[in-house]
Chain A
Amino acid sequence: MARITAGVATSHIPALGVVADLDKTGEDYWQPAFAGYDWTKAWQAEQKPDVVILVYNDHASAFDMKVIPTFAIGCGERFKPADEGWGPRQVPDVIGHPDLAWHIAQSLILDEFDMTIINEMDVDHGLTVPLTMIFGQPDAWPARVIPLAVNVVTYPPPTGNRCWALGEAIARAVDSFPDDLNVQVWGTGGMSHQLQGPRAGLINAEWDNRFLDRLEGSTQELRHIPHIEYLRETGSEGIEMVMWLIMRGALGETTRTLHRHYHVPASNTAVGHIVLEPVA
């Protein structure tokens, strides 16, 4: 039977991908941001997940304003890195797991989450930067990946509560898949950042760290944070953190933190990263 063994959350700042691709991770400015992922790379080498359900948002790459799905699941065989205007990242193609993805889509819809099903799309830095941060620079990604795209660009995005509940429904879907698979759920984006307007550059380390604190244990406080609090406290793009709640919801009642990392700045953004495991 398939089982969710861990949850990972990480920022997906595009500059981190550029720096990794140019082999500049050792530079003074970038080294502290990357160092916090060394533990995770070693841990993943032992974990060997079969599948990662990777929650992310597209940044006007695969989706423009013609179609704006709130929750979309990638059921295709393969997803190519997107050309975001300066050529695609030279990273491996992302290999999907169509059998599990279709099973999850079906289960979610019957569970009253009306998913958009996507068979062909390119995936941008929102998805490929987390792969680089967690898996490094292999010739092929060591796990199958099911992309789960969330609209956090056009308001309103889904509520935190809805995201958490979607995570719970994903856990039910994975539990009912007959094959023996080690599945992780990743939430990406955040932490505090604002990329627009005179208030750009906002960072709130205190709030971010309280968010990280509350991913652990059995508290459900995070699911009730309203959109306006993310906007006021963490900047207009901090809303991406609702995607972390899908990961948290998928881990069940109680979690334990295995690893945690926080660093400011990476270009305009606070880097946050946490590794959690469910506690039975």
Chain B
Amino acid sequence: MTERDDKVGDMRAYLDELEDIPGTRVFTVARARQGYHLNQFAMSLMKADNRERWKADERAYLDQWPLTEAQKDAVLARDYNAMLDLGGNIYFLSKIFSTDGKSFVQAVSTMTGMDLTDYQAMMLAGGRSPDGQRSKKDKN
């Protein structure tokens, strides 16, 4: 064991840093609290009979969950960035796009503003560089 202490002493500073990353919503406790029902709704689509009820009438199915109107609108529009802003987590939201028959690559590309072909070409060329994407304040 080393004697070094890696405890996070300043939680405010820790959380501020998590918000400093461009194009990223870290799934903090604030988002986990805001998105609890949104994520649990998405999780319900793991069950085949729920998927059938969801496909039959998406709005009626959503109305059974205590979501905000903004969350419902984001789900119906398949606006994944908006769902992330409203407390969604990608592993839970994946149940929605899986039910739509979409892969992770297809769904993820919609969040980037790129079309699928360009996104896949970027990945084949080695992915998105971290340069300029590390920090909003440091612009590096």
Which A residues lie at the B interface, using CB under 8 A?
14-15, 59-61, 64-66, 83-86, 153-156, 159-162, 165, 168, 192, 194-205, 207, 220, 223-224, 226-228, 231-234, 236, 264-265, 267-268, 270
Contacts and interface: CB of A to CB of B under 8 A. Distances in A.
16 contacts: A15-B104, A60-B42, A64-B43, A65-B43, A154-B29, A155-B29, A195-B90, A199-B23, A200-B112, A201-B128, A202-B129, A204-B130, A227-B14, A228-B14, A265-B124, A268-B104
Contacts of B23: 197-200
A48 B109 CA distance: 41
A176 to B, nearest CB: 18
A14 B91 CA distance: 12
B2 interface: yes
A205 B126 contact: yes
A185 B111 CA distance: 36
B95 A196 contact: no
Contacts of A168: 1
Contact of B17 (A14, A60, A228): A228
Interface in B30-80: 32, 36, 39-40, 42-43, 45-46, 80
B46 to A, nearest CB: 6
B87 to A, nearest CB: 10
B94 to A, nearest CB: 7
A267 B29 contact: no
Contacts of A194: 24, 128
Interface string B102-113: 011100110111
